[in-house]
A and B are shown apart, each in its own frame.
Chain A
Amino acid sequence: MHRLLKELFDFERPETRGALLHYKLFELFLLQYAVRWAWEWGLYIQRLHGVVVPQGIARHLDISFMFTGHVALVNAALITLCAVAVLFHTLPRLTLTLLVPLLHLQYVARHSLGKVAHGSHYVGIGILILAVAAWGLTSPQSRRVFAVGSALFFMGAGYVSAAICKLARTGGEWADGRHLAMWIAEKRVDGFAITGDYDLNWLQQFCADHRSLATAFLAVGLLSELCGFLLWFRRTRVFIALALVGLHLGIYWTMEILFDTYLYQVVLLALPWPALIDRVLARRLPVAQGA
């Protein structure tokens, strides 16, 4: 456990400009998605009439008020205000604490017809972690180290959980090429319904026609997810990150589903951007001094 904490939270390392800039990018990444989804979900909630299948807090509280008037848009405005306040370090503890339940409310109201979308969870966890850091740690630098390390922890845990769900619900035969053919057929119907287009790309057709190749794709993907915990360790972080990028690109090319925020967050947090930013800044510094 102590070793894991050392891997996730490198408090000994002095914080460089690259690390600080990197954290700012991460914070901006989280906040801009929060604002974007707040409005996207808010506009969609305007077209719903009430809860059909309650999710999250809606299982305990009556959230029918979210579907009256423009409450969802007011909530989106509040979320935007909180996000801007966080960005400018105005009452960060209060605004981060407010962000989480407001976003949760917006999410459960939007996804009240039964279908739960998973594209926003890592961003939501990231914002929750920022709030926990604001309350639980005193120095800004500790908060930043904690935020990045904890986000990596939950991302790794999330991928492992996804793999365990697959093995638990389907068993070892999950990685059967026929299953990919089923999903490709399902996506084909979706494409037909959404755009009127019914054509498969070359990779989808190849997988549908070659069961062994499709099986290999699924097996590599499942293995990548199972190894998601390697995000927790500095030595393996980059390698598993690249494997997960491959996983998400594979899902996109075969299933036409892009978990964009997951992909971006893996790239943002798991690759050595702070060191790269430091190197770029160090190269530019002699020019600035001579100017």
Chain B
Amino acid sequence: MTEGVTVAGDEGVADVRRRAGRLLFGLGVVSLALLVSHDGEFWPFSIFPMFSRAGRPWARAVVHEVPGALPPREGFDVRPLEQLPGKVLPLEPYGIEQNDLSTLVQREARWTAGERHALDKMLAPIPCRVPLMVAVVKGSLEGAGPSISAQPVAWFTCEGERARLARTRAFVPSR
């Protein structure tokens, strides 16, 4: 039974509180130092910047199944979301994280070999039946509300049952 037992033990309450205060202060200093030196993020510390950039344009990824041959260069044109070819392939059944895929496609213009490889590996769980298209959907604030547009950024063909990166806006892999 712990009722009626004080926490101080042999130490005075004031001493314990002083020590607790120093520990808390020390934790605070360490967290601030880590945050300042790491752009606000050093798990488990964070400045929690979620939703801080209000009204800024955003970019998210969608994947479509597009039967038929890969389109020509016009296949990378910007268009309304409803005019993306084929039909959406939901990511949830394949365990593909929408946040990770969207983060990749947001940097599409600067993709390196590492990012193309990451994209190729990310879509690997999808059993490929028809070519796949990854598009970036962009939203921006215009007037009273958001304006949405979409643009294909990568095309995948099927090698056996596996989807393989065939073409991006800036890159055609050699096979």
Contacts and interface: CB of A to CB of B under 8 A. Distances in A.
Interface of A: 1, 5-6, 8-9, 11-12, 14-17, 20, 44, 47-50, 52, 55-56, 59, 100, 103-104, 107-108, 113-118, 120-125, 127-129, 132-133, 136-139, 141-142, 145-146, 149-150, 153-154, 158-159, 161-162, 165-166, 168-170, 173-174, 176, 178-179, 181-183, 185-186, 189-190, 192-196, 208, 211
Contacts of A165: 47-49, 52
A190 B20 contact: no
Contact of B60 (A1, A50, A104, A189): A189
A101 B44 CA distance: 10
A208 B145 contact: yes
Interface string B8-44: 1101010011011101101100010000001001111
A174 B3 CA distance: 49
B170 interface: no
A15 B88 contact: no
Contacts of A113: 100, 103-104, 118
B117 A11 contact: no
> Which 3 A-B pairs give the minimum distances between C-beta atoms?
A124-B44, A179-B54, A141-B7
Interface stretch (B69-77, B90-98, B152-160): B90-98
B137 to A, nearest CB: 5
A193 B141 contact: no
Contact of A59 (B38, B100, B114): B38
Contacts of B109: none
A132 B53 contact: no
Given A49-B118, A55-B43, A115-B102, A146 B88 contact: no
Main secondary structure of the interface of B (DSSP, over half): mixed
A20 B1 CA distance: 10
6 contacts: A9-B21, A20-B2, A161-B46, A162-B52, A192-B62, A193-B98
B45 interface: yes
Given A55-B43, A121-B43, A182-B139, A169 B98 contact: no
Contact of A170 (B3, B7, B52): B52
B139 A185 contact: yes
Interface residues of B, number: 72
B115 interface: yes
Given A16-B3, A59-B38, A118-B48, A49 B100 contact: no
Interface of B: 1-9, 11, 13, 16-17, 19-21, 23-24, 26-27, 31, 38, 41-55, 58, 60-63, 81, 88, 90-92, 95, 97-104, 107, 114-115, 117-118, 121-122, 124-125, 137, 139, 141, 144-146, 148
B58 A182 contact: yes
A193 B97 CA distance: 10
A118 B50 contact: yes
Contacts of A183: 51
A136 B52 contact: no
Nearest to A12: B13
B19 A136 contact: yes
Which of B26, B49, B61 has the most chain A CB within a 10 Å cutoff?
B49
Contacts of B47: 161-162, 165
B165 to A, nearest CB: 13
Contacts of B50: 118, 162
Contacts of B145: 178, 181-182, 185, 208
A52 B118 contact: yes
A92 B30 CA distance: 22
A183 B11 CA distance: 53
B4 A132 contact: no
Contacts of B95: 44, 47
B103 A115 contact: yes
A118 B46 contact: yes
